[in-house]
Amino acid sequence: MQISNRIQSLAVSATLAMSQKSAELRAQGVDVINLSVGEPDFHTPAHIKEAAKQAIDDNFSFYTPVPGYLSLRKAIAAKLSRENGVEFAPEQIVVGNGAKQELCNVILATINPGDEVIIPTPAWVSYVEMVKLAEGVSVTVPASIDQNFKITPAQLEAAITPRTRMVLICSPSNPTGSVYTPDELQGLVDVLAKYPDIIVMSDDVYEHINFGAELRSLASFPELKDRVVIINGVSKAYAMTGWRIGYCAAPAALAKAVTKLQGQYTSGASSIAQKAAEAAYDGPQECVGEMRAAFLRRRDLVVSLAREIPGLKVNEPEGAFYLFPEVSAFIGRHAGDRTIASSGDLALYLLEEAHVATVDGAAFCAPGYIRLSYATSDDNIRESMRRIATALAKLQ
C-alpha cells in the first residue's frame, strides 16, 4: 500500500499514543495510572448534556452550516466580548471538530511551502506536525525551566526572518502550565508591532485553568489589530473533550478561507455537539470555577510531592493541568542491565516499572523533561508520585 510522503513524514501524536498504550496495559489487567493524555477527568455539566438531549428531540439532525450554527457563533462572539474584551463578528468565527481542527485549518489556510512559523518550545505535540502538513518550516524557540518556560522579546526578535509568516503562542501552556503575564505579552507585542505582516495565533484552550495573574487576550493589543487568530473550544473549559467542538476567531478574509477548506473536507461540525456547546457558552458558568479550584488544589498537591523526589527539577505551573519536570539527572543511570539514555527511555521505564504513564518531553520539542497530567483524582496523584519516587530511587 502506498502511503503518501506527506503522511509518512508526520509523527504519530505522542500524547494519544501513550494514552493508547496505557489503555492496552490496563486491558491486560495491569494497574496503570494514566498521567499521559491531558483531559479533564470531570463529567460534562448536566445543563450541557440536557441541551444535547433536547437537540436530538428537536431534530437537529441535518447537515450544519460549514462554519457552524449562527446561534453558536453569536454565543462565541458574546463570550469573546464578555470574558476577553475583544469584538469579533459571527462572520469571523469558524466552528469545527475541536480546537485541533481549527488550528490545522488556519495553518493550512495561511502557510505556503517554505513559510516560517515561530513556535516557542516546549510546545504541544501537534503544532510542528501541522506546520509540516502545510509544508511550512517550524522555527522553534526554546525556553527552559530556568526561564519558567517563557521566551523573551529578544529571543522572539532573533527568530524573525523575512520568511516569518506566523507566531504561535499558547498561554496557559501545554505542556508546561506557564502563563505569560500582561507585561510579558506586551514585551512580545512590542517586537511584533515592528513586523505587521506576521499573523499571531493565540491558542487559548486553557484560558480558564489559570491560577495566577490576570490573562490578557493577544487580540486586545491595538498593535496587533486585524492579525490575531484566537483558537479555543469547549474541551478544557467545560470538560467536553469527546464532543469535539472548537473554533477560530480570525480576520474575516481568513475565516472565509478556513470555511472554504472545511467545506471541502469535513463540512460543519456535529449538530448535537454544537447545541451542547451553545448551552456551555450561554449557560451558568459556575462549573468553570469549580473545576479550576479542583485543578489548583491538585497542582499544589503534585508540586509538593514532586519536590520531595530527589533529582526531579520542578517549577510551579500557573495554569493548565500539567507538570513538566526536568529529568536530566536520571539520564545515563541504570536499573539492572537497563540504561536510561533519554527522557523517552525514562518515560518507558516509568510505564513498565512504576505503571505510571507520562509523556516524553521530546514529543514537545524538549528532550530531558517528561510531562505529567494531573487532571486526575488526589488518590491517583498521591499513588503515582509514590510509585515514581520508588522507581526513580532504583536508578543507579
Interface with ligand PMP (CB under 6 A): 38, 98-100, 124, 170, 174, 203, 205, 233, 235, 241, 246
Alpha-carbon distance 331 to 351, whole Å? 16
Minimal distance in Å, beta carbon 370 to ligand GLU?
13
Q: Give me the count of residues in the chain.
A: 396
Q: Which does 203 bind (CB under 5 to 8 A by kind): ligand GLU, ligand PMP, none?
A: ligand PMP
Residue 184: partners with Cβ closer than 8 Å, 6 or more residues away:
150
Nearest to 84 by CA among 186, 221, 198: 221
Residue 190: partners with Cβ closer than 8 Å, 6 or more residues away:
153, 223
Q: Which does 37 bind (CB under 5 to 8 A by kind): ligand PMP, ligand GLU, none?
A: ligand GLU
Minimal distance in Å, beta carbon 246 to ligand PMP?
4
Alpha-carbon distance 90 to 76, whole Å? 8
Write the binding mask 149 to 188 for ligand GLU: x where contact by CB under 6 A, - elsewhere. -------------------------x--------------
Alpha-carbon distance 180 to 223, whole Å? 17
Residue 234 in contact with ligand GLU, rule: CB under 6 A: no
Minimal distance in Å, beta carbon 129 to ligand GLU?
10
Q: Which does 13 bind (CB under 5 to 8 A by kind): ligand PMP, ligand GLU, none?
A: ligand GLU
Q: Which does 98 bind (CB under 5 to 8 A by kind): ligand GLU, ligand PMP, none?
A: ligand PMP
Residue 362 in contact with ligand GLU, rule: CB under 6 A: no
Based on CB atoms, which residue is closest to ligand GLU, 15 or 232? Answer: 15
Q: Which does 16 bind (CB under 5 to 8 A by kind): ligand GLU, ligand PMP, none?
A: ligand GLU
Based on CB atoms, which residue is closest to ligand PMP, 320 or 392? Answer: 320
Based on CB atoms, which residue is closest to ligand GLU, 209 or 346? Answer: 209
Residue 38 in contact with ligand GLU, rule: CB under 6 A: yes
Torsion angle (degrees, nearest 10) of CA 256, 257, 261, 262 = -30
CA 247 to chain centre: 14
Q: Report phi then psi at 375, rounded to 5.
A: -80, 65
Residues that bind ligand GLU (CB under 6 A): 13, 15-16, 37-39, 100, 124-126, 174
